[in-house]
Structure 1
């Protein structure tokens, strides 16, 4: 009995040459739905990653400014001074564009370290 069913099934499968148009359309529609759901999620994650990278770079710069102030006794005049004295390897730029930079403001009082501002960078809220 089982052997007869298997033989019938094998004959049916041998006669089938390929996919029907309906089967192909169903697969294309399913792939379109998956893409419509996945692409916005991926793009949103990319924007969040950019903002978080900028926040981390700002924190690293501020830490380097504070260490510079503690060791040298004065605030750096510009962020390039942190590289010159080996507090950081290079001044980071904004994650969204290499043309955008963080802004550094020197300490207003003699006993005050400078601060790093967002400048042109996009930050998380």
Structure 2
């Protein structure tokens, strides 16, 4: 009787094994793009956070100067903020380097006087790529406080 029970116990059939493999393939096809999207969103959020950090350092710089903002605005570079001890080099989450802090095209904050508020527009630059772009229908980069994911252009 024991031999009869052992003979009737079989492993997985080929059809059952194939069904498991197909189900796992479907799950992988759904999960991989979702994970890729989460990674991109986290990079974009890191760029927005970095832009806000740079804008806050520019706020400190403007407050320390205690001079009125000229009508055409003032540009504060990342190099200026680092030299003043308000920031350290900031890692670029999309590359293995830092945002550009030297040269003619570098990360900068344009500070202008708006109606009842001071506007800080941050342009994040790495090499030839500029991350923060103007929103659709706008000619200027948005205020750092108003940055959204669609304002960030990943290379």
- Establish whether TM, by shorter chain, passes 0.5: yes
* Aligned equivalent of 1:103, options 107, 128, 136: 107
Q: Which runs of 5+ in 2 are unaligned?
A: 68-73, 100-105, 133-147, 151-155
Cα RMSD after superposing both structures: 3.3
TM-score (norm 1): 0.68
- Distance in 1 between the 2:86 and 2:40 partners? 29
- How many pairs align? 114
Q: Which runs of 5+ in 1 are unaligned?
A: 1-6
The residue aligned with 2:64 is 71
TM-score (norm 2): 0.57
Structure whose residues are more often helix by fraction: 1
Please tell me whether Structure 1 or Structure 2 has the larger radius of gyration of its CA atoms.
1
* Aligned equivalent of 1:121, options 128, 131, 141: 131
* RCO higher in structure (CA 8 A, sep ≥6): 1
Matched, 1:27 2:25: no
Structure whose residues are more often strand by fraction: 2
Structure 1 residue ranges (4+ consecutive) displaced by more than 3 angstroms after TM superposition: 72-77, 98-102, 105-109, 112-115
- Distance in 1 between the 2:88 and 2:98 partners? 18
